[in-house]
Amino acid sequence: MKKILSTLFAGLTVLLLQAQELKLNELEYFEKQGVNYLIYSNLFTGGFNDEKNAGIELIHHGVRTAQGGAVRLSSTPEQWDLVPQISNRKIDRMLKTIEASLRYAAYDFDSRIVVTAKGKGIEIAVYLDKPLPKALEGSAGFNLEFLPSQYWNKAYLVDGRYNRFPRYVVGNTLARPNSDKPKQFKGYNTSDDRGSGKFIDPLPLETGRNFLLAPDDPSRMVKISSPDADLALFDGRILAQNGWFVVRSKLPAGKTGKVLSWTVEAHAIDGWIREPNIGFSQVGYLPSQPKVSVIELDKKDQPETTASLYKLGDDGKATKVYSGKIVPWGDYYKYHYVKFDFSSVTEPGIYYIQYGAVKTNNFLIEKNVYDKITEATSDVWIPIHMNHMTVNEGYRIWHGEPFKEGYLQAPPNTDHFDLHRQGPTTDTKYKALELIPGLNTGGFFDAGDFDIETGANIGVVQNFVKTWEYFKPQRDQTFVNQKQRYVDLHRPDGTPDILQYIEHGTLNLLAQAEIIGHMAQTLSNSVLDNYHHLGDAASITDGLTYNPKLGAYEIAADGKSSGVKDDMWAFTSRNPRLDLRAATMFAAASRALKGYNDDLANRALVQSKRLLKEATDLIGNQPQDNAGPGGAANMGTYLQLFIATGEQNYADKFLELLWPALERNVSFTLSTALDAVPYMKEGFIEKLRPYVVKYKAYIDDLEKNNPYGVPIGLANWAGSGDVVNFGTTVCFAHKFFPDIIDSKQLYKAGNYLFGCHPYHNYSLVATLGATRPKNVFYGNNRADFSFIPGNVAPGILFRKPDHFENYDDWPFLWGQNEGTIGGNTAYLIFGEAFRRGVK
C-alpha cells in the first residue's frame, strides 16, 4: 500500500511540476498561468523606432511589465534611437525555442536571439556569426526593460545586496561629447548643447550576476541571472521621462557563437486567476436605456451564475434591488466573456454591481447623465490646444504665445522625425530656411506635441463646422481675442465658442493656402530636442527668427533675431489630395463663418474653388487609385461646395462618386452620404435606404465579432477613434432611418468609451465618469502623470497575438493614451449627436 501511495505521490509531483513549467502555445509564445513571454510577436518599427511595444515582452499576472528585449546600442534607449530589424523568426516546437534574427544595417551587424523554455523560466541566448563591429564595442548589449510604475518603491537584490527602485529618477551620469554616441537617428543633429541626454551617459544603479526584482511583491517578482556576463541596472528616466528601468549586459568583443546568455524566471502565484473586469458605463445610464454589463474573465475562472445590482440609500446603506442571470458570450482573444443585463432597473439612484466577490464603484441611473459629456472637452481641452495664443485658466497659464518668430522654409530633401519629408524642391517661392511670413496665426496643436499637422487641422475645422451646422451649440465659456492673442477659460465673451474655434482653425489653414499657395504638410519642429519638449509651448523657441550670421546664442542688436536654431519649419511639398481635403474644409468653413467673419468666409470660399481646380488637374496627371479621381476627399469636396454655393454641377459630381463608393465600402462611406441627406433632392433618401440596411447588417456582425458590439482596432494606435466615428454614424443613421437603425444601437459606442471595454473599466474621457475615469494621459503635461480635462484616450491597445492593455499608471505610450485634436473634436460631434439622439 505504501508503495502504491508513493508511486501516486511521485506521479502527482511530476504532474504539478509539469503544470508549473512553461509551454509553447499555439499562438507562438511561452506561457503558464499568470506568466506570458512574447518573443518578437511585436516588432520594432522604422517610423518612430522605439515605441516601447516590441521585442521580448513579459505579461505578468495580466499586465505587460517588461518589453524591448533585444540587442540595443545604448544602455537606456530613447524613442528615436536605432532599433533592430527583425528579419527572421523561427519556431521549433520540439526544442521549445523561438529564434529571431536581428540586424542593424547601418553597421552591417547581425545577431541571433534564441529563447528556450527551461523549467519555470526561459533562457535567452545571443549568437554572433561574426565578431562585434569595432564601432559597437562597448556600446552593443542585450537589454530588457521594466515598466517603472510597476516597480518603483519595490525592493531588489543584486548578488544578495538589497536596494529599492526609486520613485523618481536618481542616479549618476558621466558627461561626454555628442560625437562619442553611436550613429543614431537624425534628431540628434542639433545646433547647441542644450536638451536631453545627447551629452551624458547614465551610470548603472547596480551591477552583478544575479538579480531578483520585487521579492516584496510576488505578482512582480522576476529572477534574472547570467553565467557569462555582468548584469547592470539602469534608470532610463535619467535621459527622458518616458524611459524604463533597463537590465543590460554588454556583448563581448572579438567573440562569435553563443556570446551571452541569461535565465529569466517571472514568478507565478500559485492558483492565480485574474480578477474579473466588470465593464459598465462610468457616466451612468438613462432609466429607459438598455443596461448590459460585459464581464471579462480569466479562461480558468469558473463563471458565476448570477450578478446583482445594489442601490445606495439616503442613509448610505446598500440594498440589493436586482439579481439576474449571467449569459455567456464566449471567448475573445485571451479572455472569456459573459453578460449581465439589468435593463429592467429604471428607478433613478446610485448603484453598484456585485459579481461574486467583486463589486464596482458606484454609478448613476438618472435622466440627465449625458447632459455634460462634452463640456470638459469643449471648455478646457480644445482651447488649451489653440496655437499662437496665450491660454489662461484662473491663476494658471497653460502656455504663453508660442512661435512668435514664425516658420522657416524646410530645406529640400529633409526627412523629419515625425514622418514628414520635404521633397527635392520647396514647391514655394521661398528659399531653404527663409522666413515664410504670416503663418504664425491660428491653428491647433496636434496632440501631446506642439506642431500643426495640416491634415489633422483640416479635419478639426470640418468637425467644428459639422457640430455647428447640425446642433448650433450656443455654449459660451471661453474668452478668445485674436488681436490680443489671448484665451481665458471659463470666461464668456458673448460669442459661441465653437464659432471662435472654427475661425481659429481657418486662420492658419487659410494663411497656408494664400501665402504658400497650397497646403503645407506640417508646421513642426526643426530639431528633436524641441519636438519632445514638455511644458509651456512658448518656451520651445526663443521667439526670435534664426539669423545664420550670429553666433550660437547671440541676439541681434535690434532684438529681432538670434543665432539659436530653434525655429519651427514649414514642410511645404505639395500633395494635391491634401489640397482637396482643404478645399472641402474651406467650403464648409465659409458657410459657418458667414455673418460672423464675412471676410474670412469669402476668402475661404475663393481658396476652396481654386484648390479644387488645381488639385483635380494635378491628380488627373497622376495614376488613378480605385476610388477614381480624388477618391473620397474629392467626393466630400463636391458635397461641401454644393452646400456652400447651391451650384448643381457640384451635386452631380458628388452623386457620380457616391454610389460606387458605397458599393465598395458602406461602413466607410455612409457617414458622408448621411451628411448629404438634408441637402439632396427628393428621392435621395430612398436610394440611400438599401445601403443603410447593409450598414445594419454590419452592426449586427459586430455583435458576433466581439462582446462589445463596436469596431475594435487591432493596430498600433488604439481604436477609440473608430468607436467614436462608428457611434456618430449610427446616431445620424438613426436620425434619418429610425425604422432601420433603432435607438438601442446608439448606446454601444458611449458604453465602450465610458467604461464597458476590455482590460479595465475606466472611462476613456478625462474627468468624465462616476468615480473612476482614467487618471493619466499622454499630453504636454504627461511628465506630471496628469491629464488635460476632456481628453479622449485612443483607448485599449492590442498587442499581438492576444493581449489588450491600457496603462493608467504610465502615460507615455501615445498609442493608448495620447489625445489628439482630431480625435477630441470627433468626440465633440459624437457627444452632441449622442445626447440629442437618446433623448
Q: Is 28 exposed, middle or buried (0-12, 13-18, 19+ CB in 10 A)?
A: middle
Torsion angle, CA of 640/644/648/654, rounded to 10 degrees? 0
DSSP 165: -
Please tell me the distance from the alpha carbon of residue 631 to that of residue 619, in angstroms, as a whole number. Answer: 10
Cis peptide before 794 (omega within 30 of 0): no
> Which DSSP state fits 304?
-
Q: Which of 444, 256, 262 is nearest to 828 (CA)?
A: 444
Going from the C-alpha of 380 to that of each of 446, 641, 818, the distances in angstroms are: 15, 32, 16
The Cα 521–Cα 670 span in angstroms is: 28
Distance CA 307, CA 357 (A): 10
Residue bearing cell 513579459: 58
Counting every residue written for the chain, the total comes to: 839
Residue 712 CB partners (closer than 8 Å, separation 6+)? 705, 706, 719, 722, 723, 758, 796, 798
- C-alpha span between 207 and 393 (Å, rounded): 48
Radius of gyration of the chain (CA): 29
Q: Are 280 and 353 in contact (CB under 8 A)?
A: yes
Cell of residue 532, nine digits: 519632445
CB 51 within 8 A of CB 63: no
HEC string of 785-810 equals CCCCCCCECCCCEEECCCEEECCCCC
| Catalytic residue annotation | 809, 818
State how far the Cα of 315 lies from the Cα of 492, in Å rounded to an integer. 40
Instruction: Label residues 493-531 b or e (16+ Cβ within 10 Å = b).
Output: eeebbbbbbbbbbbbbbbbbbebbbbbbbbbbbbbbbbb
Q: Which residue has the cell 497659464?
A: 397
CB contact burial 686-704 (16+ within 10 A = b; e otherwise): eebeebbeebbeebeebee
Instruction: Report residue 293 as a C-alpha cell.
Output: 454589463
Q: Strand, helix or coil at 815?
A: helix
